[in-house]
Structure formats: C-alpha cells, structure tokens
Amino acid sequence: MDGLEAVVNGGDAFLTTLALVGVVILVAALLSGVVERSRLPQVAVFLALGAALGPAGIGVLNVGLDSPALRIIATLSLVLVLFTDALTGDLADVRRHAGLALVVLGPGTLLSAALIALAGWALLGLQPALAAILGAALASTDPVLLRGLLQGQRMSAAARQALRLESGLNDVVLLPIVLVAMAFLSHGAAVGATELAHLGVGLFLLGPGLGVAIGLVAVAALELVRRQVGVRRDYESLYSLGVAFSAYAAAEAVHGSGFLAAFAAGLTIASLDVELCDCFVEYGETTSEMALLLTFVLFGASLIWSGLGALDGATVLFAVVALLARPLVFVLALARTNLDRRGRLLVASFGPRGLSSLLLVLLPVFAGLPGGEQLFAICALVVLLSVAIHGGTPILLARLGSQPPSVGAPGALAVGDTVSPPSLPSTDGTTALPAPDRSPGDDDLAAPAAPRGGARITIDELRALWAEGAPVVLLDVRNERSYSHSDRQARGALRLPLERPAAAAAELGLPRDAWLVAYCT
C-alpha cells in the first residue's frame, strides 16, 4: 500500500505541475495585450498569480526552497537566460560600443556589486563570501522586466545600447563571483592554491571551452544537413534549445560551469554570423520567457514573500542602499561617455532586479551552503521593492505624458509634411546612409494603404508622392529584434509594432486619408 500511495502522490504532483505550466501559458497569452496596454509589470502579474495559487490563496501550490521542481525550473531558466542573452547579442554592436560596454560592465556592474556587498557586510554582519554573493546577485538587472520598462519609452540609441549591453552581459560577469564565493563557503580556510586552480580550470576553461566546441559542432551539423537534405523551420527553431541544454550538461559532467558553457555556446553561434531564421531566436526567447514567468509563479506562491519576514531596521537600510548603489555608480561611470545627461539618468534609473537576482542567489541554496536561505530572504525583499518601484515607472511616465510620439507631435512626421527621406540617418549623430536606388521588386518599402492594393512602392514612387504634396506617413514596422539592434531609422518615420497594429495605429492617431508607407529590413 505504501508503494501504491507513493505512486498516487507522485501522480498528483505531476498533474499539479502540468496544470501549473498550462495555466501560466494560458494566462501569459490571454493577458499579454492587457499587460502591454496598461504598462503593468508582467512579473507582478505572475507573482500575484502565484500568491493566488499558494497557501494564502486557494492552496494548490506550495513550493519550498528544497523543492526538486523549483531546482529544475530555476536551473533551466538560468541556462536559457544566459544562452539567449549571448545568442541575441550583436557582437558588431559590442565592438562598435566597446568603450561603453567596458564602462557598463566594469565600473558600472562590478562597482555596484562591490558596494552592495560592502553594505551587506557592514549593515547585516554577513561574512565576506556571503556578502559577495548577495552583492553579485543584486547587481544583476532583469532582462524580462527591463524589456517591459523600455516599451514605449523614448530614449537615444546610445542609452538603449547601454541598457541592452548591461542586461545581456552582466550575468556572465557576476556569475563567476558567485561561484568563487561558493567555493570559499564550501572549503572555508582550507581553500588553497590547488583548489583555486581546479576551480579556475573548471570555471574559465572547461565550461566555456565545451560551450564553444558544442556551438561549433552544432552549427556545422545544421549547415551540413540543411545543404544536403534540408531542415524543417519548426525543428530548426527547436535546435537552439538542444544546443543550450547539451552545452550545460556536457560541462557539468566534467565538473565545469554549465552556465558559462551555455553562454559560450550562444556566443559562438552569434559570432559565426550564420544565417539563422528568426524563428531560431524567437522560439528560444519565447521559451526562455515562459520559463522565467513559470519560475515567478513558483516564487509568488510563498517563497518571495519570505522577504517580508526579514523586515527589520538593518535590512530595510540595506535594501535602500542596494537600490540606490547602482544609480549613483552609473551616473558617475557614464559621465565621460557620449551619452547626454537625460540618457545617463535614464540608464542609471532603469535597473530592475528580478528573476536573474533570485536565480543567482539560489545557487548556494541548491548547493546546501550555510547562510543560503538568509541570502534568499534578503534578496527577495529587494526584488519585491524593485518590482514595485521600477514596475511603476512606465505608468508614472505615461501619466506625466511620456507617450510614444504621435502624428503632429514635435519631432514626428505631420500629415502633408514634405520631408526628404529616403535617407537613413543614425539616431546617435553619425553620418547618414544614403538610400540606394531600388527596383520595383525590392522589399524594404511597402505601402499597405496604396491604391494598388497594398503592393510594394519604390523610392522613386515615394518621391513622386512627396513632390505632389500628398499626405504621406512613414512607418517603421521592423520586428522588435531588428529594431532594437539598429541605431538607424528613416527620417520622420513613426514606430509601429506589428504585434497589435490596429491598436498602435489608433494610439498614434494615424489619419485614414494619408498614404501609409511601411518599411522593414
């Protein structure tokens, strides 16, 4: 009977987990439009969903720090975060903005981590290794929450680039700090030169080396099979997940860092500049985001609220220091960059803590190291405060009038204007690119509202419309990835995301009697 009861209980746990995954996917899809229009932080919605399912709600979900499901989902989430960050990164942009990247990841990220660690040691009495872990975890900014904050915000290309560099690369800078500090917690004073050498080899050679090797083999195999027999696009999109998980497993099997291996595999694919369909990246991003939201539901059931139980004078003071350290450091660090004053302030203030911080601080918990649960409670408190403060920023800015530009607004293209694109000026002040001559078969300008039934329009035809004084509105309809990784836009063009074009057109106040000329790349 005991065996039968165990099977039944195991089946119930499986059904509960499966139902949870289904609910998260359904809610994410159904509420996506509402969340985007309301500018509510998406993570807050899923924390609330977790609370509703947890012990304080209907009681169908109760997850502890020792839960195997939490460990699996959190580990997979961190693997996908690191792999996707590397895969979607634009190495050309990193090289072009190398100075900015060094400032953001050097003085910016590392000094923020050091100040937070110092505050943990001085205010909370944490031993140095625990303080270092907490500082590294809370210096990490959340890419999912940051993406929501940036939607609809007007800022320079350089400011966006700085935030993309930070959210995409800071985890791989901070992760080694956590892993090295964990080694000191495990061995104490017994850490010697031999142990440090083994740690360094596993961390900086075995993990990244296997990640690079698996990335190279994966790309070569994909290219070979694609040339010989072809690969279905839907399976090609799944391929990215296989690369990430294989790199992680291979590195962990030889006692290397699986997380750094996943990042190195993604970076290898990105650096080869192979032709990968958008679905390859977009499927990985979507899967990563679903894993992150599912993890937030698990945290929201009960775990993250443990931060409220850690409230006392010293912890509150530490939380204030942790939230203020990054803005102060970044304002000073960015002072000598080419960012204008408004850009520096925006970059400094947009530093949400979220799942990345919780995932990093969970590593010592999963390793069973002393003090791990205390670190998690403190980190959870700071994350809750950050979600409340940073998550409310878009709503506040919207109420203050920081809306996406509308037709007729300053700097936007007004109906009937005769501007002189087609040239593609860089928004960061660099030399404009002249628009090349196009033939009717070229695909970078399309006119959905044209009398020809939405046929393509050439540059010469567009010039003819301007010469006639016809009302023309240029629309930038590139997908989010192409748009966010480019610092160039047609002069006077309005940004129209295609995820919800009708609603976006209504927000922009696009006139019904004008020519709407859309372009994408």
- The 10s digit of each residue's pLDDT in 396-409 is 444 444 444 433 33
Q: 393 with 476, same domain? A: no
From 404, 398, 394, select the one nearest 475 (Cα to Cα): 404
From 223, 232, 234, select the one nearest 272 (Cα to Cα): 223
In a domain? residue 252: yes
Q: Residue 421 pLDDT > 60, yes or no? A: no
Q: Mean pLDDT across the stretch 41-57?
A: 79
Exposure letters 445-484 (e unless 16+ CB within 10 A, then b): bbbebbeeeeebbbbebbeebbeeeebbbbbbbbeeeebb
Higher-confidence residue: 73 or 167? Answer: 73
From 354, 304, 329, select the one nearest 81 (Cα to Cα): 354
End residue of a domain, out of 355, 383, 399: 399
What is the DSSP track for 81-130? HHHHHHHH--HHHHHHTHHHHHHIIIIIIIHHHHHHHHHHHHHH---HHH
Q: 222 with 342, same domain? A: yes
In CATH, what number is assigned to the domain containing residue 284? 1.20.1530.20
Q: Residue 301 pLDDT > 60, yes or no? A: yes
Residue 65 pLDDT grade (very low, low, confident, very high; cuts 50, 70, 90): confident
Q: Residue 257 pLDDT > 60, yes or no? A: yes
Q: 366 with 474, same domain? A: no
Q: Mean pLDDT across the stretch 473-489?
A: 69
Three-state SS letters, 492-521: CCEECCCCCHHHHHHHHCCCCCCEEEEECC
Q: CA-to-CA distance for 376 and 361, rounded, in angstroms? A: 6
Alpha carbon distances (Å) from 459 to 59, 327, 407, 474, 481: 61, 45, 22, 12, 25
Torsion of CA 242, 299, 397, 414, to 10 degrees: 30
In the numeric block, the tokens 């989902």 are attached to: 73
Q: Residue 228 pLDDT > 80, yes or no? A: yes
Q: 228 with 349, same domain? A: yes
Q: 137 with 177, same domain? A: yes
Higher-confidence residue: 35 or 400? Answer: 35
Which of 174-183, 473-482, 493-502 shows the highest mean pLDDT? 174-183
Q: Residue 69 pLDDT > 70, yes or no? A: yes
Q: Which domain holds residue 368?
A: 39-58+67-399
Residue 214 pLDDT grade (very low, low, confident, very high; cuts 50, 70, 90): very high
CB 45 within 8 A of CB 34: no
* Predicted pLDDT of residue 194: 72
Q: Mean pLDDT across the stretch 306-323?
A: 88
pLDDT digits (tens, 9 = 90+) for 3-21: 434 433 445 666 766 777 7
Q: Residue 475 pLDDT > 80, yes or no? A: yes
On average, the pLDDT of the chain sits at 74
Higher-confidence residue: 464 or 237? Answer: 464
Largest Cα–Cα distance in the chain? 86
If one counts the domains in the chain, the total is 2
Q: CA-to-CA distance for 221 and 315, rounded, in angstroms? A: 52
Exposure letters 264-299 (e unless 16+ CB within 10 A, then b): bbbbbbbeeeeebeeebbbbbbebbbbbbbbbbbbb
Q: CA-to-CA distance for 23 and 290, rounded, in angstroms? A: 11
Q: Residue 368 pLDDT > 80, yes or no? A: yes
**Helices 278-298 and 2-38, interaxial angle, to 10°?**
110
Task: Name residues whose C-beta falls within 8 Å of residue 43's C-beta, 6 or more positions apart in sequence.
Answer: 142, 144, 145, 293, 296, 354, 355, 387, 391
CB 356 within 8 A of CB 294: no
Q: 175 with 261, same domain? A: yes
Q: Residue 70 pLDDT > 80, yes or no? A: yes
Average the pLDDT over each of 49-53, 109-113, 291-295 and give the range with the smallest value: 291-295
In a domain? residue 454: yes
Residue 56 pLDDT grade (very low, low, confident, very high; cuts 50, 70, 90): confident
Higher-confidence residue: 35 or 276? Answer: 35
Tokens of 295: 């993890």
* Predicted pLDDT of residue 460: 79
Q: Residue 441 pLDDT > 60, yes or no? A: no
Q: 349 with 439, same domain? A: no
In a domain? residue 13: no
* Predicted pLDDT of residue 269: 85
Q: 193 with 313, same domain? A: yes
Q: Mean pLDDT across the stretch 30-55?
A: 75
Q: Residue 273 pLDDT > 70, yes or no? A: no
Q: Mean pLDDT across the stretch 365-393?
A: 86
Q: Residue 119 pLDDT > 90, yes or no? A: yes
* Predicted pLDDT of residue 123: 94
Cα-based angle 220, 223, 228 (whole degrees, multiple of 5): 125
In the numeric block, the tokens 């836009």 are attached to: 489
Tokens of 60: 């169908």
CB 262 within 8 A of CB 247: yes
End residue of a domain, out of 367, 399, 431: 399
Which of 50-64, 210-224, 338-352 shows the highest mean pLDDT? 210-224
Q: Mean pLDDT across the stretch 343-360?
A: 82
Q: CA-to-CA distance for 93 and 499, rounded, in angstroms? A: 26
Q: 169 with 261, same domain? A: yes
3-state helix, strand, coil in the chain (%, to 5): 65, 5, 30
From 521, 478, 489, 485, select the one nearest 161 (Cα to Cα): 485
Task: Name residues whose C-beta falls within 8 Å of residue 56's C-beta, 6 or more positions apart in sequence.
Answer: 302, 305
From 196, 130, 143, select the one nearest 171 (Cα to Cα): 143
Average the pLDDT over each of 123-127, 155-159, 300-304, 313-317 and give the range with the smallest value: 155-159
* Predicted pLDDT of residue 413: 37
From 340, 350, 359, 216, select the one nearest 288 (Cα to Cα): 359
Alpha carbon distances (Å) from 357 to 192, 253, 318: 29, 25, 16
Q: 230 with 105, same domain? A: yes
In a domain? residue 411: no
Q: How crowded is residue 201: how many other Cβ atoms within 10 Å of its Cβ?
A: 14
Residue 379 pLDDT grade (very low, low, confident, very high; cuts 50, 70, 90): very high
Torsion of CA 339, 341, 345, 347, to 10 degrees: -10
Q: CA-to-CA distance for 322 and 327, rounded, in angstroms? A: 10
* Predicted pLDDT of residue 352: 78
Q: 125 with 229, same domain? A: yes
In a domain? residue 5: no
In a domain? residue 31: no
Q: Mean pLDDT across the stretch 208-218?
A: 92
Which of 260-274, 300-314, 356-370, 449-463 shows the highest mean pLDDT? 356-370
Average the pLDDT over each of 164-168, 386-390, 516-520 and give the range with the smallest value: 164-168
Higher-confidence residue: 450 or 330? Answer: 330
Q: Mean pLDDT across the stretch 269-293?
A: 69
Q: Residue 108 pLDDT > 70, yes or no? A: yes
120: left (phi over 0), alpha (psi -120 to 50) or beta: alpha
Residue 443 pLDDT grade (very low, low, confident, very high; cuts 50, 70, 90): very low
Q: Mean pLDDT across the stretch 220-232?
A: 85
Pairing of strands 472-476, 494-495: parallel
End residue of a domain, out of 365, 399, 433: 399
In a domain? residue 229: yes
* Predicted pLDDT of residue 387: 83
In a domain? residue 344: yes
Q: Residue 345 pLDDT > 80, yes or no? A: yes
Alpha helices in 350-419 (DSSP H): 355-366, 372-391, 393-399
Q: 458 with 389, same domain? A: no
